[in-house]
Amino acid sequence: MARTFKNSHSIAWDGISFLVPESWSFAEYSYKKKGVTSIELEDDYNIRLEVEWTRPHAKLNLDRIRKRYAKKAQGVERQATKSFEYRGLPSGWGAHLYTMQDRFELLSAYYLSPQSEVCVWFRGHFSDKDPEDVEEVLKLLTGCEVHTQGMVPWSIYDIQFEVPARFRLLRTAFHAGRKELTFQWRLRKYRLWFFSLAEIILRDNDMLEWVVDFLNKSKDIKGPKFVIENGGIRAKRRLRYPVGHNEEIGRMCFQYKIDCVHLEKKNQIALSIFQYRTKSDLKQLE
């Protein structure tokens, strides 16, 4: 029986997006030296895909990328019992499939975007027990898109959102029922939370009241006190910090834009806080 899969979903992280089989999910990420971003995807049992990418400071030559790729692949080729080079791939792409002695297969691929904004490396891991067809997975990966301007998509787990391209990821905290991501641009801080099981949260709570209670109890936000005002949420100065908390003073950012929404189809509450300096900063979110 031919190996295949029925559905796919999008992974979008730090400026690139691509499709993968639905059973593959985001596992972890890291930022390495020389501006390299790395992520791993897994299924219920193993790591299935490793992806690394970098943003070159100057335009790269595709032939040099091919030579570098071939040099890195020499060690794998020596261990492989069989190798196959994929032909006819879209411009900027190269890929090989290596069959190892333990009957595992390694898909190795690279992509250099047309303007050299990003160079991406993929390593896919397959066994004869996996349901996915390697060529179908490669076809999904070759739909990889690069996002360098405007609003950049992010998509992991069950959350999808957009952040301005100028903002850089500062930290994350993924917990059961709650996912938090913090971005930064010129000392301005943009925080996002996604809360699962919204119908349970809102069964006995008003959403604004619940969000205000959450924010005021947060140990990470010490400067302002949050209150409901005119159908929304506003930040006020705490008596303890009349001129601002040390964190606010260090950033020179004393103003807050708070938004929350009930995403009924996803059964989530999405909350965002933009800590900014002047009203002109708000244009960054448009």
DSSP 158-190: TEEEEEETT-EEEEEEEETTEEEEEEEETTEEE
Residue type, 141: L
The pairing of beta strand 37-42 with beta strand 16-21: unpaired
Q: To 5 degrees, how large is the angle CA 130–CA 134–CA 137?
A: 100
Q: How far apart are CA 170 and CA 98, in angstroms?
A: 37
Domain boundaries, the chain: 8-146, 165-285
The residue among 222 and 123 whose pLDDT is bigger is 123
Across the chain, mean pLDDT equals 92
Give the bridge partners for 228, in sequence order: 233
pLDDT digits (tens, 9 = 90+) for 47-82: 999 999 998 877 777 777 777 777 777 778 788 889
Average of per-residue pLDDT across 32-50: 94
CA distance 34 to 55: 9
For residues 109 and 90, is the Cβ–Cβ distance under 8 A? no
Residue 272, pLDDT score: 98
Number of alpha helices (DSSP H) and beta strands (DSSP E) in the chain = 5, 19
With pLDDT > 70 as the criterion, what percentage of the chain qualifies? 98
Neighbours of 266 (CB within 10 A): 14
Between the alpha carbon of residue 168 and those of residues 172, 184, 186, 236, the distances in Å are: 12, 5, 10, 27
Q: Going by C-beta distance under 8 Å and a sequence separation of 6 or more, which residues neighbour residue 206?
A: none
Assigned CATH topology for domain 8-146: Protein Transport Mog1p; Chain A (3.40.1000)
